[in-house]
Each structure stands twice: as C-alpha cells, then as structure tokens.
Amino acid sequence: MSEPQHPSPQCSNWDELTSLRFPGNQPSKEAPARLYDELQFQRACQVYLWALPAMNMVRVRHGEAGGCGSGNDVLDIWKDRISAKTIISTANPDVIYGLAFVDLKDGPIVFEAAPQMQGLLNDFWHRPLTDVGLAGPDQGKGGKYLLLPPGCADDTPPGYYVMKSPMACLSSCARSWWTARPIRA
C-alpha cells in the first residue's frame, strides 16, 4: 500500500524572491526582471494605501451628489441617527450628522456655524483645516468661517475666522444634539 499524496505547498512570494540565483554574487539573467517586478508591485501597493483618504472622500461626495445633489449650497442632514446599516466610517450613533462638500476653485466661501454646533473642516486628504464649535475658534458660540483657496490673498474683513486651505476640495462634517431647551447664542 502506498502513502497518500500530500499536495505540495505553493511557493510563497518571499520564497520565490529568496531563491533567485546570484552566481558569483552577480544576478542571473532572470533575477533583475523579477526584482523589478516586485519593486513595481510594492510601489503600487503603497500608492493604493496612500490614495485611500482622498479616494474615500471622492466616493462619499459622489454618493451624496447622487442622493442629495451637489454644489456648495448642499448640506446633507441625516433625518435619523445612524444605525448598524449606515455606511460611513467613524460615525457615532448618538448624534445627528450633516455633511457638505466645499469647492474653493471659484474663490473664497463663507461657512457659518450655528451656536453649539460641533464639527470639522478637512481637506480631501483628511487633513484638518479647523474644528468648528466647542473645540474650534468660535468656542461653541457660532460664527463665520472664511475659507480661502490656495494662493488667495488674505485681505479679509473683521469678524471672520480665516482658514487658508492647502487645496480647493474640502469636506465639512457637522454634529448636533437634540435638546429640550432653546439654544441661546
């Protein structure tokens, strides 16, 4: 009776790379091409990971435009708190969300925050431009934020929180809480 045949494990990528031949400490004819292919693969992986933040924002903006419209005058406000079926990263189930996308390609924009609003303004790489509300410069009192595109002169009238953006595309996420008493500014 013969022993059962066991399938041989497939050669891993690491095993393949470590078994490349370097006779006389010189690469064989096939080694440089295989190493170059691996380098290209690793670079592609890094580009993919590096681009995830911006691509995430592009897809969220695209999804919002399909359901709510697009433009600097659109603020998508959830009518209910999120549930386990809501597809949004890092959301909290105890607040009502608002989401807007701002395009500064045509010039500065004023973003007016209501009192006791909590939110943030990020660029499309998820880099913070500013917090809005309690953690922001208005300290929860509300106010006008003047959003300047890259290269815009900063001659601004008084009464604005001036934010210079490193890029034209921004996102704004706002959170609000239900309250039984009126909010006084």
80-116 pLDDT, tens digit per residue, is: 777 777 766 677 777 788 888 999 999 999 989 988 8
Which of the four pLDDT bands, split at 50, 70 and 90, describes residue 181? low
> What pLDDT sits at residue 18?
84
Q: Which pLDDT does position 10 carry in this prediction? A: 53
Structural domain contains residue 17: no
Same domain, 75 and 141: yes
Say yes or no: 146 and 130 in one domain.
yes
Residue 5 lies in a domain: no
First to last CA, the chain: 89
Range of the domain at 76: 71-176
Assess whether 78 and 169 both reside in one domain: yes
pLDDT score for 3: 63
- Give the whole-angstrom CA distance, residue 5 versus residue 46: 40
**Based on the domain organization, do 102 and 147 belong to the same domain?**
yes
Angle at 38 (CA atoms; ends 35, 40), nearest 5 degrees: 110
Across the chain, what does the average pLDDT equal?
A: 84
| One domain for residues 76 and 116 | yes
Amino acid at 123: D
Last residue of a domain, one of 5, 32, 66: 66
Q: Are residues 30 and 94 in the same domain?
A: no
Q: Are residues 167 and 89 in the same domain?
A: yes
Instruction: Give the 3-state DSSP-derived string for 22-57, with helices as H, strands as E and coil as C.
Output: CHHHCCCCCHHHHHHHHHHHHHHHHHHHHHHHHHHH
Classify 62 as helix, strand or coil. Answer: helix
> What are the pLDDT digits (tens) for 114-166?
888 889 999 988 899 999 988 999 999 999 999 999 988 767 789 999 999 99
73 within 8 A of 116, measured Cβ to Cβ: no
pLDDT (0 to 100) of residue 118: 87
Confidence of residue 59 (pLDDT cuts 50, 70, 90): confident
> Which domain-ending residue is among 34, 66, 98?
66
Query: How much is the pLDDT for 1?
Result: 58
Model confidence at 54: pLDDT above 90: no
The verdict on 133 and 79 lying in the same domain is yes
Mean pLDDT of 9-14: 67
Half-sphere exposure at residue 136, Cβ-oriented, CA atoms within 13 angstroms = 29
Last residue within a domain, chosen from 66, 91, 120: 66
